[in-house]
Structure 1
Amino acid sequence: VQGSFKADIKLEDFVNNSAAVVQTINTWVEDRTNNLIQNLLSQNDVTRDTRLIIINCIYFKGTWRKQFEERSTNENADFHEASGNVSKVKLMFTKEKYLYGENKDLRVQIAHLPYKSDNTHVQFVFTVILPEKGVSLDSVEQKLSSKPQLLQQILNDGYTRTEELLLYLPKFKMEASFELSDVLKKLGMVNAFSDSAADFTGIVSKKDDPAGLYVSKVIHKAFIDVNEKGSEAAATTAIRLTKRRRLASDIKLVEFKVDRPFIFMIRESHNNITFFSGKFLSVPLSYYKRALRKIDVIFLDELGSEAAAATAVIMATKSISFRPKPSPIEFKADRPFLFYIRETRQNLTLFTGKFLTPTNFS
Structure 2
Amino acid sequence: MKCIILFILTIASCYAEVEFSGRPRNFSIELLHHTQLETDGHVVISPFGIWTLMTGVALGATGRSRSQLARAFLLPKNQNTILDGYKNLTKIVLEPKTQGVQLTSKNFVFTDKGFAIYPDFKRALTSNFGAMLIELDFTNPKSAARIANTAIESSGATVSNVLRSDDFEKSRMIVTNVISFKGLWSSPFNESDTTVEKFYDENKKEIGQVKMMYQRAMLPYSNLQAISASVVELPYGNDNKYSMLIILPYPKINVAEVYQKLSVVTLKDIFAKLESDVKEFGIEDVDVKLPRFKISTNVVLNKPLNSMGVTDIFNPKLAKFEKVSKNELYISAIVHKADIEVTESGTVASAATSAYFSDRISTPTIEANRPFIYFVIEKSTTTIIFSGIYSKPSIF
Normalised to the residue count of structure 1, the TM-score between the two structures is 0.68
Q: Which residue pairs with 2:176 in the alignment?
A: 55
The alignment partner of 2:295 has SS state of strand
Q: Distance in 2 between matches of 1:110 and 1:240?
A: 16
User: Is 2:246 the partner of 1:128?
Assistant: yes
Q: Which residue pairs with 1:69 in the alignment?
A: 190
CA shift, 1:11, in A, is 1.3
Q: Compared with structure 1, are the counterparts of its residues 158 and 108 closer, same or farther at alpha carbon in structure 2 (3 Å cutoff)?
A: same
User: Is 2:320 the partner of 1:196?
Assistant: no
Q: Distance in 2 between matches of 1:13 and 1:200?
A: 22
Q: Which residue pairs with 2:299 in the alignment?
A: 178
Q: Compared with structure 1, are the counterparts of its residues 12 and 159 closer, same or farther at alpha carbon in structure 2 (3 Å cutoff)?
A: farther
Normalised to the residue count of structure 2, the TM-score between the two structures is 0.62
Q: Distance in 2 between matches of 1:128 and 1:281?
A: 13
CA shift, 1:196, in A, is 1.4
User: Is 2:161 the partner of 1:39?
Assistant: yes
CA shift, 1:116, in A, is 0.9
- 1:291-302 to structure 2, matched below 5 A, reads none
**Contact (CA 8 Å) 1:33, 1:58: kept in 2 or not?**
no
Q: Which residue pairs with 1:22 in the alignment?
A: 145
Q: Distance in 2 between matches of 1:275 and 1:33?
A: 18
The alignment partner of 1:25 has SS state of helix
CA shift, 1:34, in A, is 5.2
CA shift, 1:62, in A, is 0.7
Q: Which amino acid aligns with 1:269?
A: K
- 1:198-213 to structure 2, matched below 5 A, reads 198-204=319-325, 206=326, 209=327, 212-213=328-329
Q: Distance in 2 between matches of 1:32 and 1:159?
A: 42
Q: Compared with structure 1, are the counterparts of its residues 66 and 238 closer, same or farther at alpha carbon in structure 2 (3 Å cutoff)?
A: closer
Segments ≥4 residues shifted beyond 6 Å: none
Q: Which residue pairs with 1:116 in the alignment?
A: 237
**Contact (CA 8 Å) 2:377, 2:383: kept in 1 or not?**
yes
Structure 1, unmatched stretches of 5+, are 284-358
CA shift, 1:82, in A, is 3.5
Q: Which amino acid aligns with 1:360?
A: I
Q: Distance in 1 between matches of 2:348 and 2:222?
A: 25
Q: Which amino acid aligns with 1:124?
A: Y
Superposed CA deviations along residues 223-250 of structure 1, whole A, max 9, x for unmatched, are 11111111112xx54545444445xxxx
Q: Which residue pairs with 1:274 in the alignment?
A: 384
Q: Which residue pairs with 1:360 in the alignment?
A: 395
Q: Compared with structure 1, are the counterparts of its residues 192 and 3 closer, same or farther at alpha carbon in structure 2 (3 Å cutoff)?
A: same
CA shift, 1:31, in A, is 4.9
When structure 1 is superposed on structure 2, of 122-131 and 16-25 the one drifting more is 16-25
Q: Which residue pairs with 1:81 in the alignment?
A: 201
- 1:241-252 to structure 2, matched below 5 A, reads 241-245=355-359, 251-252=361-362
**Contact (CA 8 Å) 1:159, 1:240: kept in 2 or not?**
no
The alignment partner of 2:362 has SS state of coil
**Contact (CA 8 Å) 2:288, 2:367: kept in 1 or not?**
yes
Q: Distance in 2 between matches of 1:360 and 1:30?
A: 29
Q: Distance in 2 between matches of 1:98 and 1:43?
A: 47
Q: Compared with structure 1, are the counterparts of its residues 278 and 238 closer, same or farther at alpha carbon in structure 2 (3 Å cutoff)?
A: closer
Structure 2, unmatched stretches of 5+, are 1-124
Q: Compared with structure 1, are the counterparts of its residues 144 and 245 closer, same or farther at alpha carbon in structure 2 (3 Å cutoff)?
A: same
User: Is 2:263 the partner of 1:263?
Assistant: no
**Contact (CA 8 Å) 1:79, 1:259: kept in 2 or not?**
yes
User: Is 2:364 the partner of 1:254?
Assistant: yes
Q: Distance in 1 between matches of 2:162 and 2:192?
A: 37
> What is the root-mean-square deviation in Å for CA atoms of aligned residues?
2.2
Q: Compared with structure 1, are the counterparts of its residues 33 and 185 closer, same or farther at alpha carbon in structure 2 (3 Å cutoff)?
A: farther
The alignment partner of 1:201 has SS state of coil
User: Is 2:285 the partner of 1:169?
Assistant: no
CA shift, 1:130, in A, is 0.5
Structure number with the higher strand fraction is 1
Q: Which residue pairs with 1:219 in the alignment?
A: 335
Q: Distance in 1 between matches of 2:166 and 2:134?
A: 20
Q: Distance in 1 between matches of 2:277 and 2:133?
A: 44
Q: Which amino acid aligns with 2:243?
A: V
**Contact (CA 8 Å) 2:267, 2:382: kept in 1 or not?**
no
Q: Percent of counterpart pairs with the same letter? A: 28
**Contact (CA 8 Å) 1:169, 1:258: kept in 2 or not?**
yes
**Contact (CA 8 Å) 1:129, 1:262: kept in 2 or not?**
yes
Specify which of 141, 147, 150 is matched with residue 266 of structure 2: 150
Q: Distance in 2 between matches of 1:279 and 1:3?
A: 35
